[in-house]
């Protein structure tokens, strides 16, 4: 067996092991075998990382660096990410099973996020206020918030880290980033590039380890002022409870059960491609998966037949092979969860149109076939619960009102897709659908400029865009007495 790659954490500008030397192994989802080792941080390791981040905010080069210089560092990091895209992509693919064709293109785009926030760093401005007192001059200045605790899940870790690191550092905060225990290697490779870019010690720290103690300690730490969490709603509840200790500002990017609505006037090819991209792209392991497909009754059979035909042709294979269109699921637990929800869904009356099992040609690796369920009523578990895998649940609707009602009948509210040639209808529904992102005649498009996030069980706050940069800073209000008279005695009426 090949020697396991060995990683260390990045704290205060130094590479280090966990206190006591404890380590965890990361498994390659395509082989089910361990391929690297990484430190299992203890609570004390987290304390060290937060203390380093706090020192960086209060003394040393990071604390006094101009916004323009911070922006340059971020742009340099973007350049290094682009130059090292192949290495980062291969690491992420080996560690999480995400297809190399997806990691290669996504990581080049990750560089754009660093360039975008690097460019925005010195555009954060305060204001002068037209105050209602003639002898006062009042202004606001924008300041960093403090130490940011950023926590990411295993899917698209580099992208999810970039939307946190970019605005946090652009606004002058320091950051402690906790990688997922299911595939931390890409973030440790990114830490190496941060070091090469020249970020001062403590400004960015990357710790690895289990949710508890590592994430739990981080989110309740008294010196943490801002938490940016991406993961599942169950974990998010722990995070919010922990933030009651430090009153840190919190953003949560959680899961979804996003609807894709197809009307009978839609461009069929576009709709089929949108459904396939929304469900089988990233092997369905995407928070914005369009896993509730709502199709107008008259075209239901025709659309589903076309999607099923494409799904059966999807090339399942080694994620490191550029030709593969779907790889394995990231963890065994993921596959077990999908199989159990699928069994409950079939028992509840859903019928299988395609897939539904492990592909016979892959006895090793956590592969699962692209799966389509025809759901005769809304009480099908796969149509309500997030599966985070390649499983599409299809429902019929009669008219626009029923489509909106079905789309909104979910505890989540992350994204939605609408396929129709009727532009007015697209805009009308955009207002009525409760989701943070609405795609009309497209699906899964993202950009550094476009805010991303949901509401209800899908989370709070937005990532990307200028809105998120503001969210990593706070205003300080400054009052200046410009009058010539001294300040009066407070107990003397004037
Ligand atoms: P998860 O919630 O199990 O873990 C996410 C992170 O939280 C990991 O780093 C984990 O170690 C950490 N964690 C665990 N317990 C913790 C605790 N008590 N305190 C603090 N941190 C803790 O999620 P996962 O299984 O890794 O990822 C899948 C989930 O992430 C899905 O629900 C998916 O929809 C969601 N997700 C959301 C988005 C989005 O932007 N909205 C993007 C990707 C994934």
List, in order of start, the domains of the chain with CATH numbers. Answer: 5-254+454-477 (3.40.605.10), 259-440 (3.40.309.10)
Q: What is the mean pLDDT of residues 211-232?
A: 97
> Is the pLDDT assigned to residue 372 strictly greater than 80?
yes
Choose, from 253, 325, 369, 463, the residue flagged as catalytic.
Answer: 253
Q: What percent of the chain has pLDDT over 70?
A: 100
- Assign 2 a pLDDT band (cuts: 50, 70, 90): confident
Give this prediction's pTM.
Answer: 0.95
357/359 Cα distance (integer angstroms): 6
pLDDT digits (tens, 9 = 90+) for 242-281: 999 999 999 999 999 999 999 999 999 999 999 999 999 9
> Is the pLDDT assigned to residue 488 strictly greater than 90?
no
CA of 272 to the centre of ligand 1 (A): 30
3-state class (DSSP) for residue 222: coil
pLDDT digits (tens, 9 = 90+) for 415-439: 999 999 999 999 999 999 999 999 9
Q: CB within 6 Å of ligand 1 — which residues? A: 151-155, 160, 178, 180-181, 211-212, 215-216, 219, 230-232, 235, 238-239, 253-255, 287, 386, 388, 414, 459
Q: C-alpha 214: how far from its chain's center? A: 19
pLDDT of residue 493: 72
Q: What does pLDDT average to over the chain? A: 97
**Contact by Cβ (8 Å): 99, 327:** yes
pLDDT digits (tens, 9 = 90+) for 311-354: 999 999 999 999 999 999 999 999 999 999 999 999 999 999 99
Give residue for tokens 């092991």: 17
> Is the pLDDT assigned to residue 3 strictly greater than 90?
no
126/171 Cα distance (integer angstroms): 13
Query: Best substitution site from 179, 235, 257, 446 to test ligand 1's pocket, by max atoms within 8 Å of Cβ?
Result: 235
Instruction: Name the least confident of 44-48, 435-439, 488-492.
Output: 488-492
Please name every residue paired with 177 in a beta bridge, in sequence order, or none if there are none: 150, 206
pLDDT of residue 494: 63
**Contact by Cβ (8 Å): 121, 65:** no
- Assign 140 a pLDDT band (cuts: 50, 70, 90): very high
pLDDT digits (tens, 9 = 90+) for 151-170: 999 999 999 999 999 999 99
443/437 Cα distance (integer angstroms): 10
Residue count of the chain: 494
């Amino acid at each position: 067996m090949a020697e396991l790659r060995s990683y260390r954490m990045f704290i205060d500008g130094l590479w280090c092991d966990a206190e006591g030397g404890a380590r965890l192994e990361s498994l390659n989802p395509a082989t089910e075998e361990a391929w690297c080792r990484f430190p299992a941080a203890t609570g004390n390791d987290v304390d060290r990382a937060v203390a380093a981040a706090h020192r960086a905010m209060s003394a040393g080069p990071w604390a006094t660096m101009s916004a323009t210089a911070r922006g340059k560092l971020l742009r340099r990091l973007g350049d290094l990410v682009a130059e090292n895209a192949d290495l980062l992509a291969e690491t992420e693919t080996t560690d999480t099973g995400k297809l190399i064709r997806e990691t290669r293109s996504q990581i080049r785009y990750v560089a754009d996020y660093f360039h975008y926030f690097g460019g925005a760093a010195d555009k954060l401005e305060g204001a002068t206020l037209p105050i209602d007192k003639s002898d006062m001059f009042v202004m606001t200045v924008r300041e960093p918030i403090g130490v940011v605790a950023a926590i990411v899940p295993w899917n698209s870790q580099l992208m999810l880290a970039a939307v946190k690191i970019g605005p946090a550092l652009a606004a002058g905060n320091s950051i402690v980033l906790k990688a997922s225990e299911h595939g931390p290697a890409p973030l440790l490779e990114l830490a190496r590039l941060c070091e090469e870019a020249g970020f001062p010690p403590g400004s960015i720290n990357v710790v690895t380890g289990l949710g508890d103690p590592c994430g739990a300690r981080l989110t309740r730490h008294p010196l943490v002022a801002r938490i940016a969490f991406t993961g599942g709603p169950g974990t998010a509840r722990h995070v919010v409870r922990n933030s009651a200790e430090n009153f840190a500002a919190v953003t949560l990017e959680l899961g979804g059960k996003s609807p894709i609505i197809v009307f009978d006037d839609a461009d069929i090819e576009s709709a089929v491609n949108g459904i396939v991209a929304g469900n089988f792209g990233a092997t369905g392991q995407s928070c914005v998966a369009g896993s509730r497909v709502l199709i107008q009754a008259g075209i239901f059979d025709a659309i589903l037949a076309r999607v099923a035909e494409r799904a059966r042709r999807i090339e399942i294979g080694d994620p490191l092979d550029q030709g593969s269109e779907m790889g394995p699921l990231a963890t065994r637990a993921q596959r077990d969860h999908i199989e159990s929800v699928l069994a409950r869904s079939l028992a509840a009356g859903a019928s299988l149109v395609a897939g539904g099992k492990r592909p016979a040609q892959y006895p090793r690796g956590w592969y699962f076939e692209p799966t389509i369920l025809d759901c005769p009523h809304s009480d099908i578990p796969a149509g309500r619960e997030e599966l985070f895998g390649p499983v599409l649940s299809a429902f019929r609707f009669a008219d626009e009102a029923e489509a909106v009602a079905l789309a909104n009948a979910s505890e989540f509210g992350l994204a939605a897709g609408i396929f129709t040639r009727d532009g007015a209808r697209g805009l009308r529904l955009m207002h009525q659908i409760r989701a943070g992102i609405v795609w009309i005649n497209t699906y899964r498009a993202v950009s550094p400029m476009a805010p991303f996030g949901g509401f209800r069980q899908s989370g709070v706050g937005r990532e990307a865009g200028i809105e998120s940069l503001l969210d990593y800073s706070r205003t300080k209000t400054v009052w200046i007495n410009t009058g010539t008279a001294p300040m009066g005695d407070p107990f003397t009426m004037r």
